[in-house]
Amino acid sequence: MECADDQACIDPQDCCVLLMARLPVLGRVKTRLARAVGDEHALELYRCFVLDTLAVLDTLSASLIVCFTPEDGRTDMARWLGEERTYLAQQGSDLGERMDAAFTHAFARGYARVLLVGSDIPGLSAHVLEHGLIALGDHDACLAPAQDGGYYCIGFTRSGYCPEVFRNMVWSTGDVFVRTCKRLEQGGASLHLLPLADDVDTVSDLAGFWQRSATGTPSLTRAYLERTGLGKLLQEAPSSG
């Protein structure tokens, strides 16, 4: 599918982005990162990650659904991110079940092209997401690898949806992306790959973001690292990229 303007290819009646997000509670978010920077910094950084991600998603023409956890957190999420947004409680006993439930909900609402993204990618690119939605015009699926061996974005068309990629998967391991690609191939899905990016789970990931963001678009995450002095400390930390 070709369009003179990327956004013109993205119809909010047809395209949707699902954002997987957790209610920010001290000691409950970014626990691996917290081991290095402390619970308070980890909490504030996660808030920045989510807000930076939303700032990118809000530039897209696609509809947006914030998929939140815990299930009883809607009031607090809406108080934080705004009542005007559409919210959906995550359902399922593991990450795969929760992602499957989110896709199933979006397709049931009538969307034909759906992307799902995480909330720990402060350097997320709007152009990459636009490209993913457009690619779903002539592919069953799209997938964006993360540096740690997982993925930070996955997308499907309603007709090409392959829920098998979410079932009996061992998450948070270094071969999730490879195994997901294999399952899509086995299912006969046509796949479009998106560019590699880094999510932020550890202090080395954060150091990598600090280095890359020096010449990038201003962000709340970058501003927080500068304001608190964490950025200077990260200059001495090993970087993931």
Give residue-wise pLDDT tens across range 186-204.
999 999 999 999 999 999 9
Is residue 60 domain-resident? yes
Is residue 222 domain-resident? no
Q: How far apart are the first and last CA of the chain?
A: 33
Per-residue pLDDT at 6 exceeds 70: no
Is residue 3 domain-resident? no
Cross-strand pairs, 117: 19, 153
> How many domains are there within the chain?
1
Per-residue pLDDT at 5 exceeds 60: no
The CATH number that applies at residue 119 is 3.90.550.10
Per-residue pLDDT at 4 exceeds 90: no
Is residue 4 domain-resident? no
Is residue 118 domain-resident? yes
Note the pLDDT of residue 240. Answer: 66
**Structural domain for 59, as ranges:** 10-200
Write out pLDDT tens, residues 42-95: 999 999 999 999 999 999 999 999 999 999 999 999 999 999 999 999 999 999
Is residue 150 domain-resident? yes
* List of residues 6+ apart from 183 with CB closer than 8 A: 162, 164, 165
Is residue 225 domain-resident? no
Q: Are 217 and 56 in contact (CB under 8 A)?
A: no
Q: Alpha helix (H) ranges present in 60-189? A: 74-81, 95-108, 126-135, 176-186
Is residue 221 domain-resident? no
Annotate 77-88 with b (16+ C-beta within 10 A) or e (fewer): beeebeeeeebb
